[in-house]
Amino acid sequence: MFNGTVFIRPQQIGALQFLAKSAGKKMDHSPIEVILYDLGNVILPFNHFQIAEKLCRFSRRKEFQDPSRVFSYLFDFEKGAVNGYEVGKVSSSQFFESLREFLQLSLSFEDFIPIWNDIFTENQEVSRTVLSQKGRRKLGLLSNTNPLHFDYILSKFPIIRAFDQWILSHEVGFKKPAVEIYQKAIEWASVEPRKILFIDDMKKHVDVTVSLGMQGLHFISAEQLREELSLKLRQ
């Protein structure tokens, strides 16, 4: 007669512990419903230093005929002149006028635009990965950018129109890694943060999303993205 007691052999204990851990891991992960991509150096590789190299040739200030000095003035993470422009505090023309005055540039706004914009290429492998998810999940673009760059990108790279939403620093008034820009993305996604995956080439930006309850993927290469994304989407 069965008395309700179940005997477990010692060799079965390890297998049961493995199954329990596996079940716990599955419970920790939610199906991804929304994928947020960074733009620069993920979909579109670029190099800001090209801008500094070209602008220094037009500066009448001797110290800013050094491209490294121009680069630091423009793109220093804390104090760079571009920061106000990329959170929408000044217009494109105002931004240019401030540069022309400070750097003493012998350059018109019309001549400045191609110097400022022509720094991007497209990572075709990453674009194919983006397109493979189109229609299967909501796709968002979360980018630190500015009006001149984004208008240029829209005109040159059709992949940008594959996204369902653009969350852009100059439109929302905050740059990554500020929490507020990620909160805007969560509001748009309209799902629990754990169902959102954010992809960025800067680990500190990914770390912020993880702290807010989202899933993160630190981009290194197109091949690595394809492999890690495939694993995450199967969980």
How far the first Cα of the chain sits from its last, in Å, is 43
pLDDT of residue 105: 98
49-117 CATH fold: DNA polymerase; domain 1 (1.10.150)
Per the omega criterion (within 30 degrees of 0), is the bond before 177 cis? yes
Task: Quickly state the pLDDT bin for 29 (edges 50, 70, 90).
Answer: low
27-45+122-234 CATH fold: Rossmann fold (3.40.50)
Q: Are 214 and 198 in contact (CB under 8 A)?
A: yes
pTM, 2 dp? 0.85
Domain boundaries, the chain: 27-45+122-234, 49-117
Task: Give Cβ neighbours of residue 2 (< 8 Å, ≥ 6 apart).
Answer: none
Is residue 28 over pLDDT 90?
Answer: no
Beta bridge partners of residue 36, listed in sequence order: 140, 198
Q: Specify the length of the chain in residues.
A: 235
C-alpha 198/C-alpha 215 separation (Å) is: 6
The helix or strand, by DSSP H or E, that contains position 53, with its residue range, turns out to be helix 49-55
